[in-house]
A = this chain, B = another copy of it.
């Protein structure tokens, strides 16, 4: 069985998206700047381009929240096919948490969106089943990441820390008080700091 890895890009002050997420700014005001490192290609540091190109390596299934799949659009729009065009960059099953049943949505390139209405544990069970020995990645948004972290279902938190202060938006850390982590792999670049944390489980007793 693989690991459950929660991967997010976050500002120095702990925001994964800017304020006022809406259809024409799904990452909120200023939120796109968080992710520039992943799209800079040859214009950015080689280490970032390399990491971005290896996105998805070892991942057998993804989980995302409704907010990531259809931010600002309302989840009742059954014609919505995600933000990523007809060939989304996943190429494996993606389990989308939602309150509204919807038929699975096969896309080009191997991505299939499955809509899960019976909660995060069910989504994880389905994702694990699909992933087999590979990892399951929880991709966001922040609320979904927090739910999995709070439920102690995450093995690794993989953060890309973009060195800017957003000041407002969607917070990663709210409600995760008292959680501790252990950084075990740090990849620096002038544009962003990539840190893999092991989630430290509280000792029972």
Contacts and interface: CB of A to CB of B under 8 A. Distances in A.
Interface string A136-164: 00000000000000000000000000011
A183 B188 contact: yes
A24 interface: no
Nearest to A193: B183
A190 B181 contact: no
Contact of A177 (B14, B165, B173): B165
Given A14-B13, A183-B188, A178 B165 contact: yes
A167 interface: yes
Interface in A103-152: none
Copies of this chain, tallied across the complex: 2
A163 B13 CA distance: 14
Chain A, interface residues (CB within 8 Å), range:
20 to 34
Contacts of A189: 183
A168 interface: yes
Contact of A164 (B181, B190, B195): B181
A179 interface: yes
B190 A193 contact: no
A188 to B, nearest CB: 4
A53 interface: no
Contact of A193 (B172, B178, B186): B186
Contacts of A168: 177
Contact of A14 (B12, B176, B188, B197): B12
Contact of A167 (B165, B177, B193): B177
Nearest to A190: B182
30 contacts: A12-B14, A12-B173, A12-B181, A13-B14, A13-B172, A13-B173, A13-B176, A163-B181, A163-B183, A163-B197, A164-B179, A164-B180, A164-B181, A165-B177, A165-B178, A165-B179, A165-B180, A166-B177, A167-B177, A167-B178, A168-B177, A182-B190, A182-B191, A183-B189, A183-B192, A184-B190, A185-B188, A186-B186, A186-B188, A193-B193
